[in-house]
A and B are shown apart, each in its own frame.
Chain A
């Protein structure tokens, strides 16, 4: 059982300066951002697949999840996805599965 204090920290909305900003390459911001895990799940489905590849292989997702949302377990799962070298829609689907599963689990445990 995960502590409610931990769950509320991971699921909180962070200030805009700490949100995740989606880029497609160095310096090219798409205009999409996520300020919470819930928004992050939604954006994985919406943003350009190129952006997902750019951030996954730079380690940006795992860094934001570990340092801003403070969810080391989810960060580790995202980190391990890199070793499978997914790309395009396969990357989108696998990343979505990992992150949405974690989000649903934390949300479910918080309510119970």
Chain B
């Protein structure tokens, strides 16, 4: 990994390490080294640098909530805002435990798109009615409750690298 004009440039080994970690972040430096035919100390150096520069943001766990009996509803909420207040609305949403993701969109009017989770539909509604609608600058809210997921994957480095080669 190099820093070029203040931008991070990954080398071939970094990309390969990221691909392996995306598949299973629990693998040890030795295991990754064996897979790539490189010493574990080299793997450590590369991973450490990527952590230091924020390329690797965190290691997390994907929990299957259904398996442990946690009932919940997930929804995609589009919050249409007054442009002057948009940033503040996004920041307030970030503070809520019900909100999993927050993004901004310029597709039609200025809007904030957030992924929200709640115990049930009533609690979801209460959260939006009591904590989102009253925020200064909120013009209206459109919410779609997710009833079925057909695909749920994170950005894949492997696929992206393959496609960018063509």
Listed in ascending order, the chain A residues whose CB lies under 8 Å from chain B are 16-17, 19, 21, 23, 26-31, 33
Which residues on the A side are within 8 Å of B77 (C-beta)? 27
Contact B139 A21 (CB under 8 A): no
Query: What is the CB-to-nearest-CB distance from B76 to chain A, in angstroms, rounded to a whole number?
Result: 10
CB-contact partner of B142 in A17, A19, A21, A28, under 8 A: A28
Closest-by-CB residue of A relative to B73 is: A26
Contact A23 B130 (CB under 8 A): no
B42 at the interface (CB under 8 A from A): no
Pair B134/A28 contact, Cβ less than 8 Å: no
Q: How close is A41's CB to chain B, nearest CB, in angstroms? A: 20
B134 near A26 with CB under 8 A, answer no
With contact pairs A31-B139, A31-B140 given, residues A26 and B124 touching in the complex (Cβ less than 8 Å): yes
Residue of B nearest to A26 (CB): B125
Rounded to whole angstroms, the CA-CA distance of A27 and B80 in the bound complex is 13
B143 touches A27 (CB 8 A): yes
Chain B residues, CB < 8 A from A17: 130, 134
Alpha-carbon distance A28/B139, docked complex (angstroms): 11
The A/B interface has a contact count, at CB < 8 Å, of 43
Q: Which of A21, A26, A31 contacts B143 (CB 8 A)?
A: A26
Residue contacts A-B, CB under 8 angstroms, 11 given: A19-B134, A21-B133, A21-B134, A26-B121, A27-B75, A28-B141, A29-B132, A29-B133, A30-B140, A31-B139, A33-B133
Q: How far is the CB of B134 from chain A (nearest CB, A)?
A: 5
CB B42 to nearest CB in A, in angstroms, measures: 50
Closest B residue to A18 by CB, please name it.
B134
Residues of A close to B138: CB separation below 8 A: 29, 31
9 smallest beta-carbon distances between A and B, as pairs: A27-B143, A31-B140, A29-B141, A21-B133, A29-B133, A17-B134, A26-B125, A27-B128, A31-B139
The answer on a CB contact under 8 Å between A23 and B129 is: yes
Give A27 to B100 CA distance when docked, in angstroms: 16
Task: Beyond A28-B141, A31-B80, list 13 extra A-B contacts (CB 8 Å).
Answer: A19-B134, A21-B134, A23-B125, A23-B128, A26-B143, A27-B75, A27-B77, A27-B124, A27-B141, A28-B143, A29-B129, A29-B132, A30-B140
- From A60, which residue of chain B is reached at the shortest CB distance? B129
Report chain B residues within 8 Å CB of A33. Answer: 133-134
Shortest Cβ gap from A68 to chain B (Å): 12
> Does B56 count as interface, using CB distance less than 8 angstroms?
no
